[in-house]
Amino acid sequence: MTSLPQSSSGLSASSRPKLSSVLVIGAGMSGLVAARTLHNAGINVTVIDKGRGVGGRLATRRLAVSDKESQQIEGKLEGKVDHGAQYLTAHEGDFIALVEELREHGVLNEWRTTSGDRPATPRYYSPDGMTAVAKYLAQGLEVRLAERVLRLEYDAHADKNFSTDSSQITTSAGTQQGWRARTDKDATLHADALIITSPVPQTMMLLETLDSARLAEMLPDTTRILLNTIEYSAALVLMLALKESPRFLGQPLAPNGGIRLDTKHVWWLADNQRKGISPHVPTLTLHATPEASREHWDTREEELIPLLLRDVSDYIGMQEIVTHSLHRWRYSRVLKPFPEPYCRLQSQFPCYLAGDAFTRSEWLPTRAEDAALSGLAAARALLLERA
């Protein structure tokens, strides 16, 4: 007798329920690429994110200034700052194709700048701010924002002789089978499959809301150990709106406004006006080094400003600041990634873990490219096992 094909869950093809709905948790690069891939394949997809907007670290913030402060800023009251990913690079074919699509639609332009001693490579930025990339990817998707998933629930029969129509699969209590996500908006979202793209420590906390015995079946100890050894570094990012364009005493920035400094406290400095995203209000982005971010994670913003500015005294003085804002990225760069582009739980109804921590890349893991390729790989694997 010919054996039935097996999926990564260990279930035979005849026992797999039909895929009609997928819930993607996380509206960053990875989640949006996964959702877009599934949506384009005709799958009903919902994306949910606790943030107020899409993008994750594809993040752009507006800095408002008062009328009095704006007298030297041509009467414009708002500046823009990229305070997450500063640009995209593309190396793999699938991501190169996405970048070309974004360029064709005017979402990305090439940004020619230098970064310390590293060789120059093509870099791409969005003239509307990097969050424009996420907004483009989210077009046509059902996205629920400012809503947090508090708890996951799961129901599935061990018996393989159930209907192939997942909308008709119920437990003995009449509850629809599959995944349920309870949110802080008192909503319950049902799905045949999950793709979770949040930072792994947050993902693990969410998975631990499942029944412990059930989770132990889905997540073997060897896999759990790998997930728990994923490491991140934090990042403090200071955003400044200025009265006038920086003088750049001593050492000018590259023509398009970005430079890798690698000083004691500041890793990256960008002039968003020169970059092209804040034409009317001069704004700067200062990324603290991982060491400074760790040491000063709880330091008050007012105390951090002079500390960071000392390292960029050739570029900007304290007296030129109109307004400022600080963002703390707890999970910024992945130091130790998962060795595969995704992780599939051993469950009858699929659950894939994806994101920038899931990569086979040996060079600069945590690039936005890694996040996108992980989401794409998870979505393709889900489609393949349900084909």
Backbone angles phi, psi at 189, to 5 degrees: -105, 130
Segment 47-75 mean pLDDT:
80
* CATH level 2 (architecture), domain 60-87+232-334: Alpha-Beta Complex (3.90)
Which superfamily does CATH assign the domain made up of 13-54+140-230+337-385 to?
Answer: FAD/NAD(P)-binding domain (3.50.50.60)
Please give the C-alpha separations between residue 209 and each of 6, 15, 19, 355, in angstroms, as whole numbers: 28, 26, 24, 20
Residue type, 180: R
Residue type, 294: R
Taking the alpha carbons at both ends of the chain, their separation in whole angstroms is 23
- Between 382 and 159, the more confident residue is 382
Is 104's pLDDT higher than 80?
yes
Q: How many whole angstroms separate alpha carbon 305 and alpha carbon 28?
A: 28
- Between 170 and 125, the more confident residue is 125
Q: How many whole angstroms separate alpha carbon 232 and alpha carbon 225?
A: 16
pLDDT digits (tens, 9 = 90+) for 222-272: 999 999 999 999 999 999 998 887 766 455 555 677 888 889 999 999 999
Give the CA dihedral 133, 356, 214, 387, nearest 10 degrees: 60
> What pLDDT is stored for residue 116 in this prediction?
44
Alpha helices in 264-300 (DSSP H): 272-275, 290-295
Give the CA dihedral 306, 276, 86, 49, nearest 10 degrees: 100
- CB within 8 A of 68, min separation 6: which ones? none
Q: What value does the mean pLDDT of the chain take?
A: 84
Q: Which of 300-309, 318-327, 341-350 has the lowest mean pLDDT?
A: 318-327
Closest CA to 187 of 300, 45, 352, 48: 48
> What pLDDT is stored for residue 14 in this prediction?
42
Query: How does residue 352 score in pLDDT terms, banded at 50, 70 and 90?
Result: very high
Q: Which of 187-191, 205-209, 368-372, 383-387 has the lowest mean pLDDT?
A: 383-387
> What pLDDT is stored for residue 318 in this prediction?
65
Residue type, 374: S
> What pLDDT is stored for residue 125 in this prediction?
93
- Between 279 and 185, the more confident residue is 185
Segment 340-364 mean pLDDT:
88
Closest CA to 194 of 203, 184, 205: 203
Domain boundaries, the chain: 13-54+140-230+337-385, 60-87+232-334
Is 115's pLDDT higher than 60?
no
